Chain A
């Protein structure tokens, strides 16, 4: 039997009477890269917030690694979120903290490491995403978009999450940085594959998604209209998806 990282069952979300997510059911497998594709406004970020338990469903059920998020109290839910590592669209680095301190932040907050160990772990994380020593003391406003993304990735990986979430990781980046970030996502997933790291990516970058994903879901107006292994997705007969692939 296949194991699932996330199971979504009949999820409905309405905001003031408007259904933003309409009866979504999907199971996201453990240890794989799954991309949720869709036009902007389709409800992708909203879906991600439900997986994180930041938004509460109007109807339906979300299980993460077998735990029903609806059954958790707010404190339990907060603790549970440490299973996730989230990379935000614009990195969402803490702008009062240096690169080093941004990555050290979750470690200081949740682990009581000695100074040397903390230093080593932060350094390893930052080196793993391709950052050099000389940028460790820079502040977010002194970093380029691509560097910020790297720091965001390092911070998300700090507590060794079981599920990595990426919200439009390459939107707004130049083609070269886009390639680097996609490679990083792919390498991260592979490096950690022995820990069964699950990656969930939200994107409208079709080409990159086809290249790095194992599974692709297509979200349109709050509905999942296709959800297939990547090879089958490429040859989908759905006209909307054909158009989406052609346009890119």
Chain B
């Protein structure tokens, strides 16, 4: 009996110390974001980096998701003659769930992992020590701009996903499935509200914050040695995705009440 109990005990300690370290990391972010120097140039560079990494896949998956969604709902709705509702169904599910969540998963895999890899490499090759020796706060220099950029970038990418997805839905709905175009748009404006878009954007903002927080956290915490960086990158991707999915549920349950 001792062995399982002690394993459970050491796992619990590990979990709590990770949570503790993560909390300190978050606290440090809010502390250092408020202190000069404000490195706008680095934020812009990171925005460009995230965009560059993700825009193409966002367009690709957004377009196809919208198209497939239009197809799938059409054949169900056709049975009960409500096929004119394909537009709003695509638009609503995109705006409230699919755009922020899928964009979040994509950015997690692309940019979140890359953040961990970059910072992790800088750590094991002593580039972070080099910054510190020059008197530069490495957290403020490396983590803060990435977290700010991630928090700004994800809502923007999510809008892009939403737009291209709806274009996909519109093309399939009106051109391939021949739903009447004026009906398509009429229903869209009947059922779609700004609150739906806000809900998605708020969620995307949180996801962007979490993903870049996790990416930079695992970057700073890579272990020395050859596999350290690879492992850190993996953990950043996996945890980024898990946190997107779990926080999506929590945020949704809160936002549907207040919006």
Q: Is B truly associated with A?
A: yes
Partner of A109, one of B127, B132, B134: B134
Q: How many residues of B contact A (CB 8 A)?
A: 13
Which of A79, A86, A110, A159 is within 8 Å of B130, CB to CB? A86
A92 close to B129 (CB less than 8 A): yes
- Taken together as a complex, chains A and B put the C-alpha atoms of A81 and B136 apart, in Å, by 9
A81-125: contact bitstring with B at CB < 8 Å (1 yes, 0 no)? 110101011101111000000000110011000000000000000
Determine the interface band of chain A, counting residues with CB < 8 A from chain B. 20 to 34
Q: Which residue of A lies closest to B35 (CB)?
A: A75
| A-B residue pair count with CB separations less than 8 angstroms | 47
Q: Which residues of A contact B126 (CB under 8 A)?
A: 88-90, 92
* Beta-carbon contact of B133 and A86 below 8 Å: yes
A195 close to B (CB within 8 Å): no
Q: Is the CB of B137 within 8 A of A78?
A: yes
A54 within 8 A of B: yes
Q: Is the CB of B125 within 8 A of A54?
A: no
List the B side residues contacting A110 at CB < 8 Å: 134-135
In this complex, what residue of B is CB-closest to A84?
B133
A92 contacts B125, C-beta separation under 8 Å: yes
B212: interface (CB < 8 Å)? no
1/0 per residue, CB under 8 A from B, across A110-151: the answer is 100000000000000000000000000000000000000000
Q: Any chain B CB within 8 A of the CB of A52?
A: yes
B121/A95 in contact, CB under 8 A: yes
Q: How far is the CB of A64 from chain B (nearest CB, A)?
A: 13
Task: Please state if B134 and A95 are interface contacts (CB–CB under 8 Å).
Answer: no
**Of A81, A88, A92, A94, which one neighbours B135 at CB under 8 angstroms?**
A81
Residues of B within 8 A of A82 (CB): 134-135
Complex-state Cα separation, A238 to B55, whole angstroms: 66
B134→A54 contact, CB < 8 A: no
- B118-154 near A? 1/0 per residue, CB < 8 Å: 0001100111011011111100000000000000000
Question: Once the chains are docked, how many angstroms separate the CA of A54 from the CA of B133?
Answer: 8
What's the least CB distance linking A62 to chain B, in Å?
Answer: 15
Residue of B nearest to A96 (CB): B118
- A81 near B127: Cβ-Cβ < 8 Å: no
Residue of B nearest to A105 (CB): B134
Q: How does the 8 Å CB contact mask read for A171-215 relative to B, with 1 for contact and 0 for none? A: 000000000000000000000000000000000000000000000
Contact of B127 among A80, A89, A94, A159 (CB under 8 A): A94
Residues of chain B whose beta carbon lies under 8 Å from any beta carbon of chain A: 121-122, 125-127, 129-130, 132-137
Q: List 11 A-B contacts (CB under 8 A).
A: A79-B135, A80-B135, A81-B132, A82-B135, A86-B130, A90-B125, A92-B126, A92-B130, A95-B122, A106-B134, A159-B134
- Contact surface of A with B, Cβ cutoff 8 Å: 52, 54, 78-82, 84, 86, 88-90, 92-95, 105-106, 109-110, 159
Given A52-B133, A54-B132, A84-B133, 5 other A-B residues pairs in contact with their CB atoms under 8 A:
A82-B135, A86-B133, A88-B126, A90-B126, A95-B122
